[in-house]
Amino acid sequence: MSTLDKGIVNAVLERSGGLCEVPGCYAPGAEIHHIIFGSGKRKQCERIESLILLCYECHRGTYGVHGKNGRKLNLKLKRNLQKEYKKQGYTEKEIREMMGGKLY
């Protein structure tokens, strides 16, 4: 498992205020989640925007991103990240590269 950059981790923790960043949740944050997953692109795509603090339920619970029924939340986080990159002015090609080769 890769080690996260401490500066990025601190920025994510500061942004979140220690709370889960799933809209409407606000439970205490437990784990930092990589919105973009993949062995080849994960480290390359590791940016403040692509990491999010999640509570245990939103990360590993049944409806969490790694849970049995977590596909909906996983896609929502990916789409939100994609929108953020577009808002920052990246081209579709650049966004695709930052998203690990896909658009959502």
Joined tokens for residue 11: 């920025």
Mean pLDDT of the chain, nearest integer: 91
Q: pLDDT (tens digit, 9 = 90+) per residue, 45-72?
A: 788 999 999 999 999 999 999 999 999 9
Give the structural domain span for 87.
6-98
Residue 3 is predicted with a pLDDT of: 79
> Which of residues 43 and 46 earns the better pLDDT score?
46
Instruction: Tell me if residue 19 falls in helix, strand or coil.
Output: strand
Q: Is residue 1 part of a domain?
A: no
Q: Is residue 104 part of a domain?
A: no
Contact predicate 40/75, CB 8 Å:
no
Measured CA to CA, the distance from residue 43 to residue 4 in angstroms comes to 9
Whole-model pTM: value is 0.88
- Number of separate domains in the chain: 1
Residue 5 is predicted with a pLDDT of: 87
Confidence band for 2, pLDDT divided at 50, 70 and 90: low
Instruction: Tell me if residue 53 falls in helix, strand or coil.
Output: strand
Contact predicate 17/24, CB 8 Å:
no
Q: Is residue 94 part of a domain?
A: yes
Which residue from 39, 23, 29, 30 is spatially nearest to 77, judged by alpha carbons? 23
